[in-house]
Structure 1
Amino acid sequence: MTHKPQAVLWDMDGTLVDTEPYWMAAETTLVESYGGTWSHEQAMQLVGNGLDDSARILRDAGVDMEPDAIVARLTDEVRAALATQGVPFRPGARELLRDLRAVGIRTALVTMSLGRMARSVVDLIGFDAFDHVVPGDEVTRPKPHPDPYLRAAELLEIDIADTLVIEDSPTGIRAGITSGAVTLGVPHMVPLDDAGAHALWPSLDGRSASDVVDLFASVRSLQGATR
Structure 2
Amino acid sequence: MTAQRILSWTPSAIVFDCDGTLMDTECHWQDARILALREYGFTPATGFAERAKGLHYSECGRLMADEAGRPDLGGEMTERLLAHFRALVADNPMTMPGARQLVETAAQFAPLAVASNCPREVVESCLDTAGLLDLFGYIVVPENEMRPKPHPDVYLTAARLCGADPADTLAIEDSHCGIQAADQAGMRIMGVGPWPDARTVALVDLWVRSLDEPEVSGWATGRVPPQYSR
The bucket for the TM-score relative to the shorter chain is 0.7 to 0.9
Please report how far the alpha carbon of residue 139 of structure 1 lies from its aligned counterpart in structure 2 after TM superposition: 5.4
Alignment of structure 1 residues 1-227 onto 2, 5 Å: 3-39=9-45, 41-62=47-68, 67-84=74-91, 86-101=92-107, 103-127=108-132, 128-137=134-143, 140-188=146-194, 191-195=196-200, 196-207=203-214, 211-212=219-220
| Cα displacement (A) at 1:97 | 0.4
User: Unpaired runs of 5+ in structure 1?
Assistant: 216-227
Question: Residues 61-83 of structure 1: CA distance to partner in whole angstroms, max 9, x if unpaired?
Answer: 33676544433332232221122
**Per the alignment, in what secondary structure is the counterpart of residue 45 of structure 1?**
helix
TM-score, normalised with respect to structure 1: 0.82
SS at match of 2:204: coil
- How many angstroms apart in 2 are the aligned matches of 1:28 and 1:4? 41
Offset at residue 164 of structure 1 (A):
0.2
Q: Distance in 1 between matches of 2:220 and 2:55?
A: 26
Give 2:219's aligned amino acid. D
Distance 1:35 1:22, change over 3 A: same
Name the SS of the counterpart of 1:52 in structure 2.
Answer: helix
Equivalenced residue count is 210
Task: Give 3-state SS (helix, strand or coil) of 1:142's partner.
Answer: coil
Normalization by structure 2: what TM-score?
Answer: 0.81
Q: Distance in 1 between matches of 2:123 and 2:61?
A: 18
Q: Any unmatched runs of 5+ in structure 2? A: 1-8, 224-230
1:7/1:106 contact within 8 Å kept = yes
Give the AA of the match of 2:83: D
8 Å CA contact 1:113–1:137 kept in 2: the answer is no
- Percent identity, aligned pairs only, is 32
Letter in 2 for 1:77: H
CA RMSD of aligned residues (A): 2.4
